[in-house]
Structure 1
Amino acid sequence: MKDKAEQVWTFTRNLAVPWTNNSSEQALKGPKRHQAVSGYWHTMATLSRYCRVHSYLVTAKGHGIRAIDAIHAALAGRPWLPTPVTA
């Protein structure tokens, strides 16, 4: 890490850079916290719906789409989808 110190500490100088790249761990924090507080999810279908909506919003945010805009588009029948990458 000594050789990469400039890269490691980038998030302290540039606030647009997230302090972690572990988005999969961050995505689990909400459902895990809910489970810890309430003790359970009522059904697997409820958990599945939560994960689907949360995943949609996290992906939209990663592409610069505000959550409210992504939700509005989805409810209007025009869900935002990432542009496919062609090889």
Structure 2
Amino acid sequence: MLDFRVPFDNNQAERDLRMMKLKQKISGGFRSVEGAQMFGRIRGYISTLKKQGLNVLEALKQVFLGNPTMPTVLQPE
């Protein structure tokens, strides 16, 4: 209630989960638990980059070059 950096609604959280549910619906699920975890980790990384206004394509390029972009962590005031 006091931190105005936090959005009023949770629509972004719902949007973040929608891709996972869509993948389950289209392909019938994941072939393994590890595959689902990897998918979630990649989607979470991309979502965080977008939320922080970073260039997703450049960040993914840096991941494959061995120099991943680490999103910043917001500290409560």
Alignment TM class, shorter chain as reference: 0.7 to 0.9
What is the number of residues matched between the two proteins? Answer: 68
Provide the residue aligned with 1:52 in structure 2. Answer: 41
Structure 2 alignment gaps of length 5 or more:
1-8
State the distance in 2 between where 1:75 and 1:64 align.
Answer: 20
Query: Structure 1's 83 and 32: CA in aligned 2 closer, same or farther, altered over 3 A?
Result: closer
Provide the residue aligned with 2:61 in structure 1. Answer: 72
Instruction: Give the superposed CA RMSD.
Output: 1.9
Corresponding position: 1:41 with 2:41: no
Report the TM-score when normalising by structure 2: 0.74
Query: Structure 1's 77 and 33: CA in aligned 2 closer, same or farther, altered over 3 A?
Result: same
State the distance in 1 between where 2:14 and 2:72 align.
Answer: 25
Structure 1 alignment gaps of length 5 or more:
1-19
Where relative contact order (Cα < 8 A, 6+ residues apart) is larger, the structure is: 2
Amino acid corresponding to residue 70 of structure 1 in structure 2 = A
1:43-70 deviation digits (Å, cap 9, x = unpaired):
1111100110111111111111121111
State the distance in 2 between where 1:27 and 1:79 align.
Answer: 21
State the distance in 2 between where 1:31 and 1:83 align.
Answer: 24
Higher-Rg member (1/2): 1
